A and B are shown apart, each in its own frame.
Chain A
């Protein structure tokens, strides 16, 4: 079955450590996105990539980094510079270039930093 896989589902880290969240898709979609969700908030865009080897900052990119070396993969690194990293992180993809195509989401990774 085609879809988006995020791993792990739960992640725990100590403050000051970088951590990388995995996102893999087999939908052959060009565009991929990372969103952050906090309690009582909607989803906020961190980074997005419309094509391999290219990505753009979203609304809250500070303290995060991404890479897009393969079409299928869009890992997100939460660096020690991110002041409030504890959140629910959602990866998504879509075919790109179609206003009406809905984003397909993974099941998310819940990151807790103490």
Chain B
């Protein structure tokens, strides 16, 4: 069974609008962390935001916020005020406390920002 599911292979958004990228996860470990990475066409992986399973508040980093719904096991990334430079692949990933801290990735969502 997949531990991380990203159901949107591709998404389009108009410049300056907000967009939500979906991520659901599966774990029975009470201690885990959720990460979002951005991968531009150049291939580098850029860390965006982190949410711990025990964190009470949703994480925010500039224009990025994480909509964490623990009971639904979802960790959606919200990008506000989209910019052309936001066009990239976005990956959701999870690290479980009991798994030697290995990071497991979803298949990603390709976001295209239109002018």
Contact = CB atoms under 8 A, between A and B. Distances in A.
For chain A, give the interface size range: 20 to 34
Contacts of A105: 44-45
A56 interface: yes
Interface residues of B, number: 27
Given A40-B107, A42-B4, A100 B43 contact: no
A90 B45 contact: yes
B105 A58 contact: no
A107 B43 contact: yes
Interface string B23-36: 00000000111010
Contacts, number: 61
A74 interface: no
Nearest to B91: A42
B43 A88 contact: yes
Contact of B50 (A48, A58, A100, A108): A100
Contacts of A64: none
B106 A107 contact: no
B100 A56 contact: yes
Interface in A37-54: 40-45, 48, 50
B59 to A, nearest CB: 10
15 contacts: A33-B102, A33-B103, A40-B107, A42-B4, A42-B91, A42-B108, A44-B105, A45-B103, A92-B45, A99-B52, A99-B97, A104-B47, A107-B42, A107-B44, A108-B44
A103 B4 contact: no
A36 B109 CA distance: 17
Interface in A93-113: 94, 96-100, 102-105, 107-108, 110
Nearest to B39: A37
A97 B91 contact: no
B27 to A, nearest CB: 12
A31 interface: yes
A58 B107 contact: no
